[in-house]
Chain A
């Protein structure tokens, strides 16, 4: 249907977005690339100069680097698994003709409206705190020792908090997918004697593939850059047990004021993100086609 002129018009319409995003991507990226090869510490402005790959090497030689890399992927993977699995279960539950479905949906969306620093501080102070938190009160109520969430299970705690923030998103997408599934198909399967599990496995799950893909794609983009929740709760510790790559960069940028290193870390993070994106697209790209 497209003519030469409409093609031209289409180009013109896409152009502003592309140009803006190109600038938005290229300029900071170029500056970051430039700084990543420089000695540039905010607090020592007199000492600057080219340092080659020193800033990159610092990351690779840091004892925390590989752990941070692992933690970054663990955070993304952990939150994805939890939100997708719980999201499917909750969606299946809410999709039943239960009473007050509208109110239920409101309650389930609520965490999505909570600013991340607020969410983290609620969990840290009101729930996980070993003396004043609700969890410790519950543990004591049963005569048990309070669990030291942020000290003994820092990574799990962070994954838990972030999962709570993203669960509404996953649930609602999956719920909407579920609601568009025709009930006749399921009823027919039931008549044929298909078990609940096989109905889920062969009818419901395939129907939700595209929704699951969207959840994974969008969440991965956001989750790869997360550090605010870590900063508020564990500050990457104890030691470096819950340090992720973004948090490691954050420490170099904020605590050490070492812009050169932070920039090198940023470039490494971009490369990591692109590797993850590549595998995601290879694994999931097909699901996005109509």
Chain B
């Protein structure tokens, strides 16, 4: 609905929009700035902006103190793995719901979403025991499955809304040409739905990356992702603001960068296909 504005109003609106955006972004910026300060400089009063003692030491120390590459790799495997597995299971389901809807499809979707309503803490011990019996504690595959199931309803729902936007006539036309069910999905549907699938994928990688409860409860060393890395730097003796900030920055920067580079797809993903 963008419309032309007078130069004066344009200038004012631009200033206001930038002010608001910077305000929202400021906590992240401040954390990143703090991560480059020495500890005394980080807690100095009044706060130091330009006069701070800048240093890379926090990053060096965080790097030396823990096996960052392993945490990072585990985060990548778990978030990407759970998303891909989720897509594999969700695409057929969402396809069927979108193109062969039954009377109960809407209810089924709502039911799926409602499986996310169980508070994690309440099922912590039952799930922990289950995982233990199955030998899945501290395994990447265990976390991949857990996070996949946790996010499956969201994946299905998002894909469903994307698929619904694809006109049914195209499918009928391809059926006339004698395409099989799978041919229909692979050659007709998937290319059209690719943007939707891409945004779904991105959003779920982010959700899985940021998951910080099960990833800590169900891991010790071998499968521990960046959330556990953060837990090893929070609240040590003395408030190490700068080091905590550095560790935090290292934990969120990969996903922040991924998100920024792919923000167009993501913006679509965030809408859950909610709007036409």
Return the contact of A126 from the options B14, B30, B114 (Cβ within 8 A): B30
| Given known contacts A21-B149, A177-B275, A10 and B100 CB-to-CB distance under 8 angstroms | yes
| Given known contacts A224-B119, A253-B124, A137 and B46 CB-to-CB distance under 8 angstroms | yes
| 15 residue pairs from A and B, CB less than 8 Å apart | A2-B99, A25-B115, A109-B267, A114-B256, A115-B230, A137-B45, A140-B46, A168-B24, A172-B270, A173-B270, A173-B271, A179-B1, A183-B3, A218-B272, A249-B121
Chain A residues within 8 Å of B117, by CB? 221, 224-225, 270, 273-274, 277
CA distance A281 to B13 in the complex (A): 37
In contact, A211 and B275 (Cβ under 8 angstroms) = yes
Return the contact of B119 from the options A106, A118, A127, A246 (Cβ within 8 A): A246
In contact, A126 and B34 (Cβ under 8 angstroms) = yes
In contact, A2 and B34 (Cβ under 8 angstroms) = no
Chain B residues within 8 Å of A118, by CB? 31, 230, 248, 251-252
Chain B residues within 8 Å of A2, by CB? 99-100
Chain A residues within 8 Å of B266, by CB? 109
| Given known contacts A114-B252, A117-B212, A167-B24, A246 and B46 CB-to-CB distance under 8 angstroms | no
Return the contact of B125 from the options A35, A141, A177, A204 (Cβ within 8 A): A35
Chain A residues within 8 Å of B54, by CB? none
Chain A residues within 8 Å of B164, by CB? 290
The answer to whether the Cβ of A28 comes within 8 Å of any Cβ in the partner chain is yes
The residue in B16, B123, B260 that gathers the most chain A C-beta atoms within 10 A of its C-beta is B123
Interface residues of B in 218-276 (CB under 8 A from A): 226-227, 230-231, 234, 239, 241, 244-245, 248, 251-252, 255-256, 259-260, 263, 266-268, 270-272, 274-276
Closest to B268 in A: A176
Q: Interface on chain B toward A: helix, strand, loop, or mixed SS?
A: helix
Q: How far is the CB of B162 from chain A (nearest CB, A)?
A: 13
The answer to whether the Cβ of A17 comes within 8 Å of any Cβ in the partner chain is yes
Chain B residues within 8 Å of A113, by CB? 206, 210, 252, 255-256, 259
In contact, A24 and B115 (Cβ under 8 angstroms) = yes
Chain A residues within 8 Å of B63, by CB? none
In contact, A211 and B206 (Cβ under 8 angstroms) = no
In contact, A104 and B130 (Cβ under 8 angstroms) = no
Chain B residues engaging chain A, CB cutoff 8 angstroms: 1-5, 10, 13-14, 16-18, 20-22, 24-25, 27-28, 30-31, 34, 43, 45-47, 89-90, 92-93, 95-97, 99-100, 102, 106, 108, 110, 112-127, 129-130, 149, 152-154, 156, 164, 168, 171-172, 181, 206, 209-210, 212-213, 226-227, 230-231, 234, 239, 241, 244-245, 248, 251-252, 255-256, 259-260, 263, 266-268, 270-272, 274-276
Chain A residues engaging chain B, CB cutoff 8 angstroms: 1-2, 6-7, 9-11, 13-14, 16-18, 20-21, 24-25, 27-29, 31-32, 35, 42, 90, 93-100, 102, 104-119, 121-123, 125-127, 131-132, 134, 137, 140-141, 164, 167-169, 172-173, 175-183, 186-187, 204, 210-211, 213-214, 217-218, 221-222, 224-225, 227-228, 232, 245-246, 249-250, 253-254, 259, 262-263, 265-267, 269-270, 273-274, 277, 281, 288, 290
Q: How far is the CB of A221 from chain B (nearest CB, A)?
A: 5
CA distance A267 to B32 in the complex (A): 41
Chain B residues within 8 Å of A35, by CB? 125-126
Chain A residues within 8 Å of B260, by CB? 106, 109
In contact, A134 and B230 (Cβ under 8 angstroms) = no
